[in-house]
Amino acid sequence: MPKTWGDQLPLQHDAPRTTSFRKPLAYILVLLGAAWFLSRNYVSEVITRPCRSHAPLSSEPKCPQVDPLIPSKSTKELDDMWDYLNSESFFNKSIERLSGAVKIPTQSYDDMGDVGIDPRWDIFHSLGNYLEESFPGVFKTLDVEKVNTHGLLLTWKGSDVGLKPTVLMAHQDVVPVPDATINQWTHPPFSGYWDGKFIWGRGASDCKNQLMGILEAVEALVHAGFEPKRTLVLSFGFDEEISGHRGAGELSKTLIKKYGHRGAAVIVDEGAANLKSWGANWAVPGVGEKGYVDVEVTVRMPGGHSSIPPAHNGIGVAAELISLIEANPWSPSLSDSNPYLSMLYCGAEHAPSFPSKLKHLLHHRPQHAHKDALALEAAKAGLDIRYLFTTSQAVDLISGGVKTNALPERTTFTINNRINVGSSVADILSHVARLFTPTAQKYNLTLHAFNNATETPNSLILRASDTALEPAPTTPTGPGTPFSILSGTTRALYGEDLLVAPGIMTGNTDTRYYWGLSEHIFRYRMGWDLEQEGLGNIHTVDEKIEGKAHRDAARWVYGFVRNMDEADL
C-alpha cells in the first residue's frame, strides 16, 4: 500500500488520529475548478481571517500546512478497493464511463422553458438512465430522490444521526456548442473521444468529470462494504450553466428543509484547479466567490428618417456610454476578507520564487491609501490574476434599430459585472449611475436609475438584473475545520510538495444556493491535469481532460469521504 494516496506508503491501521493534523495513511484524491476561472499564478489564503498587516509581519506562520491525511480505519476490502482504484483496469473503466457521459448532449440554453414543457430538457432522461446503468451499487444502496424531474439527490444514511452530513455536488448540464464552431474541434464535441491521454468533448472538463468521479468513488465504497457513520449526500443539478435556479435552487431548498440552517458539515462543488505558481505547486480550493449583477441600459431617443440624421442618435449615445464604461475600470483592491490576500501570505512564506517587491508591500501595507499598492503590484501578473481582486465590467449584449433607413428609437446594452470581495451590488449600481449622469444631462435625457420607472421618450433607463448576487461569505480555513480535512486529503494524494491555499472564484457555481446549508463550502477541481494549464478549455472549442486527472477525482473522493467520516467536527 502506498505511503501517501498518491503512490508511496503502507496503511497504518492502528495509527493515532488527531482532529486535523495527521500522518499520511493510504488513500486518494482527485480533480471545478472556476472559475470558470483560475490560472497558473493563482493561490489564496490559509488563515481563517486574512490579517491586514500595517507593520512588519510576526514570525508566527500565516500559512501553516497540514500533514497528509489518510483514513485510520480500514478493512481488507477497503484496502483492496484502493488497489483497484490505482489499477489499469479501473483507469480504463473510468475513461469509458466519462466518455459515455460526454456523448449525451445535455446542453442547457439561456432561453429554456419550464421542465416538462420545453422538449430540450428531455435529453436529461438519457443521462439519468446512463448513470443508473453505470453505477448500480450507488442507485441500489443510496436513497434516490428526483427534484424537479432531473435534479438528483442521493443520500447514504450514516449510523450517527448526530453528525452533520458531507455534501458533494456536480452538475449534469453543459454549455451549448454553437453550430458554427463544430468544424473547429479536433474531435467532435460529443464524441467522448479518447486519444490515449485526453478525453475530448463538451462536458469532459465542466463538469461531467466531477459528476462521474464522485459516483465512481461512492460505487467503490459500496462494493468495498463501507458503512458510513456520517451521512453522505450527493446533489446533482442540471442547469448550472444558466444560473441553476431550476436544479440547484430546488435541491438546496430540499436539503435545507431536511437538515436545517447550516445543517451540513461541508460542501464540495466544482471549482479551482491545482496549478504551479512562484516556483511551487498549489491546490487552491475556492473558499469565496465574487458577486454578480447585470445592468441593462436603455437609451430612448427620437426616430426619423436616416437621410436627415441628428448629430447624435440613440446608438451613438449608447456607444458613448460604453466608452465611458471601458475608460473607467475598477481599480484592484485587496480587502482583508479576500482569500487572495492570504494566498499572497502563503506565497511569501513557502514559494521560492515569490517576488521580493510583493513581499515588501505585503509586510508594509499603508493603513490609509487612495490606491492599494499591493493589489496594483499583484495585478501585474495578468488579467487572470487581476480579476481575483478587481471588479470586472464587460458589455456583452447590444441591440438597436430595426431598419437601415430609420433612426433607432430604442437602443439597449447590458453590462455584466463581477463584484470584488469587499464591494457590493449597491456599489456597482451607484458607480454606473454616477458615471452616466453627465451624459444624460448632456443629451437632455431623463435618467431613471434603478427605480423601476416606465420607459418614456428622451430617457436613459438603468435596470439591475433580478439575479444579482453579493460576494459569497468566506469559508473558515483555520485548524480543526473541514478545510484541514480537505487539505490533508489533497496532500495525501499528491504529496507534501503540494501546498494548499484557499482560493477565490471569479465566476459563480451552484453553491450560490447553498450558503444557508453550510458555512464550510469549497469549490475545488480535485484532479490535477498535468499535461495542460488551466481548466481544459471549458466553455470553448476542444474542451478536454487528461485521463489521469479524471481518475484522480475518484481517488480523492474515496479518501475525502472516509476522512470526513472519521473527523471530529
What pLDDT, on the 0 to 100 scale, is given for residue 371?
A: 84
Q: Model confidence over 390-423: pLDDT tens digits?
A: 999 999 999 999 999 999 999 999 999 999 999 9
* Number of domains observed in the structure of the chain: 1
* pLDDT value at 38 more than 60: no
206 known member of a binding site: yes
336 known member of a binding site: no
Q: Model confidence over 158-206: pLDDT tens digits?
A: 999 999 999 999 999 999 999 999 999 999 999 999 999 999 999 999 9
The residues, ordered by sequence, that sit 6+ positions from 363 with a Cβ below 8 Å of its Cβ are: 53, 56, 57, 348
446 bridge partner residues: 459
What pLDDT, on the 0 to 100 scale, is given for residue 41?
A: 36
* pLDDT value at 9 more than 80: no
Give the DSSP H/E element, type plus range, for residue 433: helix 425-442
Scanning the structure block, which residue is given the C-alpha cell 472516509?
562
240 is catalytic: yes
Taking the C-alpha atoms of residue 142 and residue 137, their distance in angstroms, rounded to an integer, is 8
> Does residue 22 fall inside a structural domain?
yes
Contact 227, 150 (CB under 8 A): no
> Does residue 313 fall inside a structural domain?
no
Selecting among 45, 219, 239, 240, the annotated active-site residue is 240
Selecting among 173, 349, 510, 546, the annotated active-site residue is 173
The mean pLDDT value of the chain amounts to 89
Taking the C-alpha atoms of residue 491 and residue 499, their distance in angstroms, rounded to an integer, is 8
* pLDDT value at 265 more than 90: yes
C-alpha cell, 491 = 496532500
* Better-scored residue on pLDDT, 539 or 332: 332
Average pLDDT over residues 36-57: 34
173 is catalytic: yes
Q: What is the pTM of this model?
A: 0.88
Which of 461, 509, 505, 470 is closest to 295 using CA atoms? 461
539 known member of a binding site: yes
> Does residue 436 fall inside a structural domain?
no
> Does residue 25 fall inside a structural domain?
yes
Identify the domain containing residue 379 by its residue range: 1-290+331-390+472-569
> Does residue 440 fall inside a structural domain?
no
Residue 209 belongs to domain with CATH number: 3.40.630.10
Q: Model confidence over 340-384: pLDDT tens digits?
A: 999 999 999 999 999 999 999 998 887 666 789 999 999 999 999
Question: In a 10 Å sphere around its CB, with 0-12 CB exposed, 13-18 middle and 19+ buried, how is residue 143 labelled?
Answer: exposed
What pLDDT, on the 0 to 100 scale, is given for residue 60?
A: 77
Give the DSSP H/E element, type plus range, for residue 521: strand 521-524
Q: Model confidence over 511-540: pLDDT tens digits?
A: 999 999 999 999 999 988 766 666 678 889
* Better-scored residue on pLDDT, 61 or 49: 61
What pLDDT, on the 0 to 100 scale, is given for residue 91?
A: 98
> Does residue 364 fall inside a structural domain?
yes
Instruction: Count other Cβ atoms within 10 Å, centred on residue 289.
Output: 32
> Does residue 442 fall inside a structural domain?
no
> Does residue 300 fall inside a structural domain?
no
